[in-house]
Amino acid sequence: MKIGDLARRAGLSVHTLRYYERIGLLPRAERDGGGRRDYDAAILTWIGFLRRLKTTGMPLREMQRYAGLRRQGDGTGPERRALLEAHRETVRAQVEELQACLSVLDAKIESYRTADTAGKGTAP
Amino acid sequence: MKIGDLARRAGLSVHTLRYYERIGLLPRAERDGGGRRDYDAAILTWIGFLRRLKTTGMPLREMQRYAGLRRQGDGTGPERRALLEAHRETVRAQVEELQACLSVLDAKIESYRTADTAGKGTAP
DNA sequence: CTACGGGTTTGAGTGCGCTCCAGGTCAAGC
DNA sequence: GCTTGACCTGGAGCGCACTCAAACCCGTAG
């Protein structure tokens, strides 16, 4: 698979794919005769996982660390696991905070709703 | 209240407070004789709300829009409400996505756990 | 009186995560 | 043979949200 195809399938730009390779998030792709990257479809799984990490707010630095451990092989399992467990906790906290914010939003919207049906504005 | 006190109470830096005033997120604070900002404690409520918006991923641009509407007074209630309702939907989607990511993380961690108790590494 | 710990402004600098550009190579189609 | 389009590299540039620097002004304590 060429980088353009991968970009389409992964939902990232070719720029981003090359950038991720540069910084070590993606393994250096094999090249064809003309020096062009030629990807195995399996890379999509890894990219999908990276996306989960990014979605959950993990900075690239930490993804680099994880990717580095992964490159170093099986022995690093416990370390990778610890990294993910720590991250899981931050994501849990994040979800809780968002839910609290949602309640506040709901209340605020409700206050606009009642101010709307009644006559006068009340909410800040 | 002076800007330093407010910064401590609001959990923002004085730099950030001045920056927020510059870009219109905070109303221009009243000044004392020496030209220094002198805040009313009520501003904390507004800052708290801004923080909720920021926590939930609203870009400053949109907060500026909301703050602008607020400055324009009661007539803008419906518009502000619409803005918040739209934002609420994005936050809901965000929470759902995070929860999906959490399941993936859980699964991944579990796979490391079993690979840990068993002999050989399995997980990517 | 002077030193100090705040405060003021404008404008520049920072870190992150891309995003794009210049200048080039290569393979396929007309 | 020539054009087109996708790809290559190294490095510059961008948008966001701060963050800090320089040069200055106050008010109070010692």
Q: Give the model confidence (pLDDT) of B55-89 as tens digits.
A: 999 999 999 999 999 999 889 999 999 999 999 99
- Is residue A124 pLDDT above 70, yes or no? no
The whole-angstrom separation of Cα B34 and Cα B36 is 6
Structure tokens at B113: 């756990």
Classify residue A105 as exposed, middle or buried by CB count within 10 Å of its CB (0-12, 13-18, 19+).
buried
pLDDT category of residue A117 using cuts at 50, 70 and 90: low
Question: How many Cβ atoms from other residues are within 10 Å of residue A35's Cβ?
Answer: 6
DSSP track, A61-97: HHHHHHHHHHHH-GGGHHHHHHHHHHHHHHHHHHHHH
Helix (H, G, I), strand (E, B) or coil at B21: helix
- Length of chain B equals 124
pLDDT at B119: 47
Neighbours of B21 (CB within 10 A): 15
Determine the pLDDT at residue B122.
45
CB contact (8 A) between residue B98 and residue A94: yes
The CATH code belonging to domain B1-72 is 1.10.1660.10
Q: Enumerate the domain spans of chain A.
A: 1-58, 73-124
pLDDT at B74: 86
The reply to whether B60 Cβ lies less than 7 angstroms from strand D is: yes
Statement: residue A120 has pLDDT above 50: no
Q: How confident is the model over A50-70, as pLDDT tens digits?
A: 999 999 999 999 999 999 999
CB neighbourhood size of A79 (10 A): 14
pLDDT in tens, A103-115: 999 999 999 999 8
**Tens of pLDDT, residues B104-118:** 999 999 999 987 665
Per 3-state DSSP, chain B is made up of helix, strand and coil in percentages (nearest 5) of: 70, 0, 30
pLDDT at B33: 87
With an 8 Å Cβ cutoff, the interface of chain B facing chain A consists of 45-46, 49, 52, 55-56, 70, 73-74, 77-78, 80-81, 84-85, 87-88, 91-92, 94-95, 97-99, 101-102, 104-106, 108-109, 112-113, 115-116, 120-121, 123-124
- What is the architecture, at CATH level 2, of domain A1-58? Orthogonal Bundle (1.10)
